[in-house]
A and B are shown apart, each in its own frame.
Chain A
Amino acid sequence: MIPSRWKEAFRKTAQGFKRSLPILLGVFMLLSLASTLIPKNLYSKIFTGNQIIDPLIGALVGSIAGGNPLTSYIIGGELRLQGIGMLPITAFIVAWVTVGVIQLPAEALMLGKRFALMRNAISFVAAVIIAILTVLILGWT
């Protein structure tokens, strides 16, 4: 016989999951679509060489793309080999893992619209600032 405390905890957890499942499924579908539609070599074509605009482009692309951090390191490494500066690459890597445009609707539904919008907007700005600080402290360009 399962104690009622266990049953109650299971029921609460299952209810929470049931609420979240359609959102998670929607996010999986959007991520699969983005992964299929965005070719990997697209990233290297969008940087201009401008030290002010490129970090913003890096953060913007990182925010939209998202996914496994490992993929961002691989793309970042490839971009570096192609001569792209570390400023946009860092902004790209940081935004990739901290900002999520694709999962924004899911975040807004589960954690609140205002919270999700503010968190992502602040994380976007922070990605650019962190990139500038990291490159400055390391003396890289």
Chain B
Amino acid sequence: MEATDKYVVSEAFLEDVHGQIGCISCHGGQNETDMDLAHEGMIVQPSAHDACSSCHAGIAETYETALHNTTAGIARGLERLAYPKTFNDTPELEYVYENDCTSCHASCGECHVSRPRVMGGGVHTNHEFVKLPPMDDSCWGCHGARNAGEYMGNVDGISTIPDVHYEAGMHCADCHAVDNFHGTGEVETGMWDLETLPSCYDCHTDVYAEDSPIEAHAVHDPDSMSCQVCHSLPVNNCTSCHVSADGGSSVRSRMQFKIGLNPMQSERHPYTYVALRHVPTNEDMLAEFGDDLLPNFENITSFKMSPSHNVQRITPQNRDCQRCHGNERIFLQEDDLPADGSPANIDLIVPEIP
């Protein structure tokens, strides 16, 4: 991205209510012509320093406990792998979390004004405040290696087939309610726990019916499998973590589509079979920070239910019955399990291919 795109402020912004406030009132610094002097004491991200709450008190209040702000989902995941160790009694874990994991935290401005820090920052739309953040800058900037990347057909720079909803012009926020981003005021500890997480059934009501013109919808039990089993394409599976003492490392990953048993069956997700995604973990991922920091690693599956965001009406596995039934290649096999992944993954292998 060019410097002019990152730092130039438009006339339209200056006429906006936020532009009328005055640069220094949010960003600090000084009204000086010398660049160094002007930037002295400057706050790059005012929204990370409570600049929004004085006018947007309601949103700022719910955002306090929202996942995009707290990254509590990552904290919970890490503490589950570390159990019975905790951040409180294991400083190495807290160090990793504070220095690597919290880089996923998003301030108000990182969606509504600028690109996320992990993308190098810089204002989008020349500092104009946007109510609906641009997907390719804001959403993709943090989620581009997986869900947003698959949705838009650009998985961390690799061209893929985009989701049909994206091709129909739908924005992430068309499915995800605003409180998926701003929070509800309730303490949030994990994405899957959000009451307002979207469901395909929100729009596609009554797809399962005995008289459905789509045979697969007529013969399958709705609880037997997630929609993604039939309607998603291969997704990005990361088998290592980018956490590193020297500030980040590359991640092993590969695109694949695998069906397995549901590792997180619940009332809201009762499916027996789900599309799986390997999440970026392995047994040695924190080895450079200390010994045996993840004693519970072997008890937690590193394949998770995939909310694959590359939905298609017709996919290789749903063209006809035989593409799925009896086709063991699309079901998780022992050969698919990473050698340094969790031994618990073996529990997700379907014992008898339907």
- Chains A and B bind each other: no
Q: Which residues of B contact A (CB under 8 A)?
A: none
